[in-house]
Amino acid sequence: MTTNPPPRGARPRYLVIAEAIRQTITSGQVRPGQQLPTENDLAKAYDVTKPTVRQAYKYLIGKGYVVARPREGYFVPAASEMTWYMSKRDSRKVTTTRTVDPWVAAVSDAGHSAFQTITVRTLDPDKLIMGESVGSILGVSDGQLVACRDRVRYINGDPTELAATYYPYDLVKNTPIMAPADIQPGIFPIFSEMGHDQSHFADTVRSRMPSDEEADRLQLDPGTPVLEMVRRTYFTPDDQCLLVRHSVYVGGNGTQFVWEVDA
């Protein structure tokens, strides 16, 4: 990337530098996944201090133009944008003979590399999700347990989502849901064998700033927002919520969510 020090003026220098970097990205001069100039190089090119360059990069990180990798430097985010069709995701109406995890399959089909870590554990029902206890959502009383499948999901090597699913432990304790691996033959066939067919789901979505733990797990820079989504899935015969999916997505990376609703 070539740079020419701009004339000094009233505009903060870090914004001038940030705009120059942004233009090299949007023009295609620096491609997705490529490394950007170091703090030292830009400090010399613009005759400024390294903290000024660092401030420019932090500004661009907050706008989604740049990602920072510890001990490596600054990069243009890899082209890992996904479009999720939420009306079809986690729906019993969508059948498949594939044995791979549906999330991994969707990311791979979009041309990206997919990886996720899976941890399975039990929790007390007082765990809060959007201010409501997961026990009250699932109908799990005090003294009983909730099963949790907790995942960190990576696209093209970058963490993009924290995904946790919650179930009544007494219902799923003897099923493949409790194994830290892809669920075979799938959540809905397992529930169907137990006499519970999916009836409908309800989604709640909001944007917010991450907690310290979320920022650490998603490797977020200060000021980066997240998108939080909770899906409650209800089953027959009593129209009871037996599955809660809680997802926290990295904000500003171009991910799109589409809901199709009958008029």
Which of 89, 135, 130, 84 is CA-nearest to residue 110? 84
Annotated domain spans of the chain: 13-75, 83-258
User: What pLDDT does residue 199 have?
Assistant: 94
User: What pLDDT does residue 112 have?
Assistant: 84
Which of 50, 77, 237 is CA-nearest to residue 158? 77
Cα distances (angstroms) measured from residue 70 to each of 75, 210, 218: 11, 19, 13
Site of tokens 């997802």: 247
User: What pLDDT does residue 208 have?
Assistant: 93
What are the pLDDT digits (tens) for 181-232?
A: 989 888 999 999 999 999 999 999 999 999 999 999 998 877 788 999 999 9
**3-state secondary structure string across the chain:** CCCCCCCCCCCCHHHHHHHHHHHHHHCCCCCCCCECCCHHHHHHHHCCCHHHHHHHHHHHHHHCCCEEECCCEEECCCCCCCEEECCCCCCCCCCCCCCCCHHHHHHHHCCCCEEEEEEEEEECCCCEECCEEHHHHHCCCCCCCEEEEEEEEEECCEEEEEEEEEEEHHHHCCCHHHCCCCCCCCHHHHHHHCCCCEEEEEEEEEEECCCHHHHHHCCCCCCCCEEEEEEEEEECCCCEEEEEEEEEEECCCCCEEECCCCC
User: What pLDDT does residue 114 have?
Assistant: 92
- The third-level CATH classification (topology) of the domain covering 83-258 is Chorismate lyase (3.40.1410)
User: What pLDDT does residue 84 have?
Assistant: 84
User: What pLDDT does residue 97 have?
Assistant: 55
- The third-level CATH classification (topology) of the domain covering 13-75 is Arc Repressor Mutant, subunit A (1.10.10)
User: What pLDDT does residue 123 have?
Assistant: 96
User: What pLDDT does residue 101 have?
Assistant: 83
Question: With a cut of 50, which residues of the chain have pLDDT below it?
Answer: none
Give the span between the Cα atoms of 15 and 161, in whole angstroms.
30
